């Protein structure tokens, strides 16, 4: 799993980049074999004005169209990353579960019913 970190409107320190890798990686480590790329975008929404304006958007892409995303806005980079990492972990789990449910369905019975009408 390749984690790409991008920043817009702010400069991330080495410690903040490590924080992103650690928290996003631990949120997605059980899906590592299913994911190819994870893009983390951290941006300052309204510049030096202050307030809850740091947004973290995470997009995960995997094999066979598996995709999920999550975002969070908070006062600091670390807080926004933590909230978004929790969201992406839940959203990837849901996407994987939906794929399993769909793959496990017996589609042959529906095809047979259509032919016999």
pLDDT tens-digit readout, 57-106: 999 999 888 999 999 999 899 999 999 999 999 999 999 988 776 655 55
Q: 2-104 domain in CATH 3.30.160.100?
A: yes
Q: How many CB atoms lie within 10 A of CB 107?
A: 9
Q: What confidence score (pLDDT) does residue 64 get?
A: 83
Q: Which residues, 6 or more positions from 46, have their beta carbon under 8 angstroms from its beta carbon?
A: 53
Q: What confidence score (pLDDT) does residue 1 get?
A: 82
Each domain of the chain, given as residue ranges in start order, spans 2-104
pTM surpassing 0.85? no
Q: Rounded distance, CA 32 to CA 51, Å? A: 35
Q: What confidence score (pLDDT) does residue 110 get?
A: 53
Tokens (6 digits) for 11: 């400069």
């Amino acid at each position: 799993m390749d984690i790409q970190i991008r920043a817009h409107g702010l400069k991330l320190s080495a410690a903040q980049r490590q924080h992103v890798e650690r928290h996003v990686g631990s949120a997605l480590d059980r899906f590592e074999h299913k994911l190819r790329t994870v893009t983390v975008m951290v941006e300052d929404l309204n510049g030096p004005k202050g307030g809850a304006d740091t947004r973290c958007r995470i997009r995960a892409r995997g094999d066979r169209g598996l995709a999920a995303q999550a975002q969070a806005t908070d006062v600091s980079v670390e807080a926004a990353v933590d909230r978004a990492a929790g969201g992406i972990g839940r959203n990837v789990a849901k996407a994987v579960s939906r794929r399993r449910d769909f793959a496990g369905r017996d589609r042959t019975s529906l095809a047979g019913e259509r032919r016999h009408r």
